Each structure stands twice: as C-alpha cells, then as structure tokens.
Chain A
Amino acid sequence: MSTQIPKQTEESTETETEPASKGDERRAEKRRRAAERREQRQEEEAEKAAADESTVELKVFRYDPQVEGKQEPRFDTFHVPFTKGMTVLDALMYARDTYDSSLTFRHSCRQAVCGSDAMFVNGGQKLACKTQISDLDEPVRVEPLPHAEVTKDLVVDMEHFYDQMEAVEPYFQTNEYPDGELEEQRQDRENREKIKMSTRCIWCGACMSSCNIAAGDNEYLGPAAINKAYRFAMDEREGEEMKQKRLEIIEQEHGVWRCQTQFSCTEVCPKDIPLTEHIQELKREAVKNNLKFW
C-alpha cells in the first residue's frame, strides 16, 4: 500500500484576496491549519517509517454486559504496526482482525459520510475513519462517546439521539407547489448557500456527546436536532407560515434557550457545521418573532 503524499507546493494564496465572508475566513483558516498539520504529519510519518517496526499503542475501552470478565469496564492495550496514512479506524480494524475478534465498534463507509464511527479519542469526539494516528499523542486512548449508554465496547445506544432528531419534525413541509408536475420549486442560490452547511449533518452524535447542557438536561433537543430545525426554518421554499411553526418548536422549554454558547459542538463537528452560530441565529429569529410593535 502506498500513501504517497505529494510534495507540498507553495503556501496557499488566499491572503492575496480579502476573504469575502466569515465562512471564507473559516475555510481559509482551516486550510492553513490543515497545511500545517500535513507538514507535521509528513515529518512524523517519515520519523516513524524510519524506525523499524514502529507500532502504535492503543488503549481501548472494553465492556460487554453479556460476557463474564467483560462486565466490569476495563481498558485493553493493543500494539498495532504503524503504516503511513493510518487512521484510528484502520488501527481498530487491525486489532480486531488480528488480535481479538470480539472488539466491537460501528463503522461502514470509512469516508466520513455515514457517521457510524464517532468515538472519544484522546479526550475528544472524533470520527475514527478520518482521524490520522500521526496527529495523535500516544498511547491513543479510544472510548465510546460520553453521555450515552454503552451497549458494548465502543458502541453506544443512539436511540435518544434519534428521538431528539425526530422531535423537530425533520421533513420538508410546504403546501405551495408549482403548477406543473415537472416544475421544481425555485430557490435562490443565496438561500441554498445559507442552508448548505446545515444540510451536511451526518447524524454522528459527536456534538450531542460534547454538549454539557445536553448531558445535564436529557430533554434538551441538542445541537444536531436544532441544526436540523435550522435547515428547514431557513429554507425559503417552506414559506413564512411554516417558519413560525418551526420557531415554535425550537422555542420550547428545552429548545434553543438552553444553549449556553460553549461552542463545544462546533469544535467537534466533523463536517465543520457552525452549530453554535445556527443556534444563536434561531434565538435571534425567535426573539424577532415574539416582539410585536403595535
């Protein structure tokens, strides 16, 4: 397997033009950080590759209510041979297929779109498939998502998360369709751009797991569900009346007002969705909605 990383070309050029919006700034900043990380990764990988039979030490949380000896949670240590470009998921799969076939975790697409493999890696919520081992300090500590019931090893019960997602009526609702059956509803490019980031959610649950408020208030809708509500409330195709209804849903006692802008959801989101901003924007919309000047 070759994971040749092409030579770094010159520094990115986005300083030449003034970034147009916050989104662009964020993206530019993200790329700068990525370039730095990449450089560092290349150095570290070169070092590791130079050392003979370099291995990675994984400390993995284990628990199985069914199996004697695993009912008491513990950490198992696995030493996995390091290969260039190895991700946390690669390392876990190697450990499972080579050392212990009972090691259990969810995974499927291994390209950061199915959202199955959100885990707590070195103290942060991450998608195992897109987290490079070389970006992490060793030993790499892998645990199930905090604030969720552990089913077995790294698998947590997602039911509560799904229930919260479904509580915001997560489906498009409008009564106004174009006349022709083959006619689409028009949507401004700007409006599509506005909801774009919110539509990228992959339901991995990392945000909910990172949220202190959600941890203390089981009924709090949580960042993912509120983001889902945002996706529809801001979609101009649903119309004003429906927007009112959407705002009522997220204004409930355990809705947007619970958010204390700690930004932890935004920090951990593997799809870079500005969750905290979306929540604040909905708060503002809700306030505007409730102020009546007459």
Chain B
Amino acid sequence: MVLVMAPRFSYAMHIAEGFLPPVWCAFYLLLSLPFVMIGLRQLKAKSRLGGDMKLFIAVAAAYCFMLSALKLPSVTGSCSHPTGTGFGAVIFGPFVMSVISVVVLLFQALFLAHGGLTTLGANTFSMGIVGPLVAYGIYRLAGKSKIGIFLASSLGNLATYCVTALQLAFAFPSPAGGIAAAAVKFLSIFALTQVPLAIVEGILTVIMMGIVEKYSVSELEALKGGNAYEA
C-alpha cells in the first residue's frame, strides 16, 4: 500500500491534496479568505501608485515564484524549499503576499500536484498569511535594517513551516500523546529541516533588497507612508 502511494508522497508541498480532513479544509479556507480579500484591495490601491509599480509588484511575485520552486537540501537529510514571501511582505505589507501566495500555490496545485485544491486554504494560511505577517512584524520590530530584513524573511520562512507542522498536529493528534506529541513529531520533520533554508532565504532577500533599493527608488518612495518598506 505504502509502496503504491509512495510516488505521490514525493509530490507533496506543504499539505498534500486530500490529506487534510474536509472540516479543517473548510476552516482554513474561511480563515484565509478575509486576508486575501484585504490583500486584493491593497493590491489594487498600490498598483495605482504609478511609476513601474505594477511591474514592481510582479517582481515580488516572481521572487516568490522562483524561490518556492527551488528544492534545496538540508542538513537533516531531507529537502524543502524557501517561500520567498518575506521580501514582498516587507515592501508591500503582509496582505499583498496573501494574494501572491494563492497564485503560487494554485500554480503548484494545478500543474505540479504539489499542495492541492482542497488544502489551498490551509497552505495559504501558512505560506501566505502567517509567514508574511511574521516577516512584516519582525521587520518593524527589528529596526528596518539589513539585519531586520534578514531576520524577517528567514523567520517568516520558518514560521510557515511551523504552522504547517501545527496544522497537521491539530488535524492528526498522535493516538498516544495527543496534539502535543504530534506537534513535536511534525516540527522535527519540518522546522529543523527548514533552518538552513531559512538562513539562505534571508541572505537572498537581503541581496534582492539591495537590488531594488538601487533600481526602485521611486517605487519605494511612493510606497512610503503606507504599511510598507522604509529604508
């Protein structure tokens, strides 16, 4: 049985199609919806800010697209990938990234059988909502420096996978030790693996931020005052 199913397991990104019980799917879908709605509204408003703003937003999406396709090795002996959401969260605020994450997750669910349509809500919640919110919060707290950008994007990345682990633990408590034991198990699979990847994403985001600081002066200026990047 496991052997028959094995090829499909290797396809899984975050929570695989059909694995999360329907009740939880509906729960995360409803939970994610308002964030995505706010994001859509902000996306509209921000894209009207002029200059190359639309293209600038596309760059944040492209970064997310690119990084979430990069499966990298980790010290624990398994592979995972960055999320790329911290960069956009720091520049455009967390909610715009919710919308972009839905696009990325849909692409992977439809064309790569990674994640899934039923688990879209749950995966959006971890990658598109909690990750960017953590990244944005840390960036604000850490004093808006290069170190702040590094910490924001790497801890946002880590937060995404911690949430995935917790989502699985809540849906599938361990028969012996309940939710806590299951959480420890899933965290050991996801969070530890993610540590070197989180550091790599942090470094890449600092590089990327350096690039846009040089070439997107006007866009960054136009975004000031909102919940956005401030050098």
Query: Is B truly associated with A?
Result: no
Question: Which residues from chain A sit less than 8 Å from chain B, CB to CB?
Answer: none
